């Protein structure tokens, strides 16, 4: 009888051991987009370059929303800038405005977002103050002085968007692009009270906007 009880106890232990083994749970792969920005261009004849994760530069995107009661269209302006905690020099571009009816959608849909940015590659946007109806450039120099493009401007200025690609991941929906532009930017000189200008030539931005 004792042999039977001992045998039964050993058998129960053997059966219980596999049930105590914890099986590794392999999480599903995470879909992530590649947020890798870059800018090159000439400011007053001097070459400027900002590269992601070099000298502290990182690409940042933001948007401004101007809400209007329906049926007046609400508007959203998108911005992208590469900034560094070690260097004040940066160039921001803004594109707007995506118009939509707040009564029909509380936010622009992904289709609206995609169509708006795809349209910029078909028809080059015009320069627009505040980017309310097009494109704007903001340059910050090494003294943190801010310079802005302006419209209308009798001086020729150009901008094109290309290679528009929409991608999404767990952090949101993005529109990737390449943007080429040349323009003057302007700033009030506090000492002379006159408007100074700088020429940005062959500006090439590789960046993204977030929905």
- Residue 39: the pLDDT is 98
Q: Which two tokens stand for residue 157?
A: 């200025």
Q: Kindly give the residue spans of alpha helices, DSSP state H, lying in the chain.
A: 2-20, 110-122
Count CB-CB contacts under 10 A for residue 211.
Answer: 21
- Residue 32: the pLDDT is 85
Count CB-CB contacts under 10 A for residue 129.
Answer: 13
CA gyration radius, the chain: 27
CB-based contact 121:164 (threshold 8 Å): yes
Distance CA 128, CA 135 (A): 5
How large a percentage of the chain has pLDDT more than 90?
A: 84
User: What mean pLDDT comes out for the span 101-124?
Assistant: 96
Q: Kindly give the residue spans of alpha helices, DSSP state H, lying in 55-176.
A: 110-122
Distance CA 123, CA 144 (A): 33
Cis omega (within 30 of 0) for bond into 71: yes
**pLDDT per position as a tens digit, 62-112:** 999 999 999 999 999 999 999 999 999 999 999 999 999 999 999 999 999
Q: How far is Cα of residue 44 from the mean position of the Cα atoms in its chain?
A: 26
Find, among 71, 178, 64, 172, the residue nearest to 117 by Cα: 178
- Residue 184: the pLDDT is 98
CB-based contact 206:180 (threshold 8 Å): no
Distance CA 178, CA 39 (A): 10
Q: Which two tokens stand for residue 126?
A: 């015009």
**pLDDT per position as a tens digit, 148-167:** 999 999 999 999 999 999 99
CB-based contact 125:136 (threshold 8 Å): no
Ranges of each domain in the chain: 61-210
Cis omega (within 30 of 0) for bond into 97: yes
- Residue 35: the pLDDT is 93
Averaged pLDDT score across all residues of the chain? 89
Kindly report the pTM of this predicted structure. 0.84
């Amino acid at each position: 009888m004792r042999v039977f009880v001992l045998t039964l106890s050993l058998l129960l232990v053997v059966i219980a051991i596999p049930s105590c083994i914890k099986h590794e749970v392999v999480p599903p792969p995470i879909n992530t987009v590649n947020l890798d920005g870059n800018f090159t261009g000439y400011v007053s004849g001097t070459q400027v370059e900002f590269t992601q994760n070099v000298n502290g530069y990182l690409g940042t995107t933001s948007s401004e929303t101007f809400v209007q009661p329906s049926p007046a269209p609400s508007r959203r302006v998108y911005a992208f800038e590469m900034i560094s905690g070690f260097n004040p020099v940066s160039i921001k571009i803004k594109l707007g405005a995506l118009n939509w009816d707040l009564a029909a959608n509380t936010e622009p849909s992904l289709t609206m977002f995609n169509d708006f940015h795809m349209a910029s590659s078909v028809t080059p946007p015009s320069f627009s103050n505040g980017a309310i109806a097009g494109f704007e450039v903001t340059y910050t120099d090494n003294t943190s002085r801010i310079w802005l493009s302006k419209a209308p401007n009798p001086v020729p200025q150009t901008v094109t968007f290309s290679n528009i690609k929409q991608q999404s991941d767990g952090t949101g929906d993005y529109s990737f692009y390449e943007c080429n532009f040349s323009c003057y930017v302007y700033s009030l000189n506090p000492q002379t009270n006159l408007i100074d200008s700088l020429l940005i030539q062959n500006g090439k931005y590789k960046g993204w906007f977030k929905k």
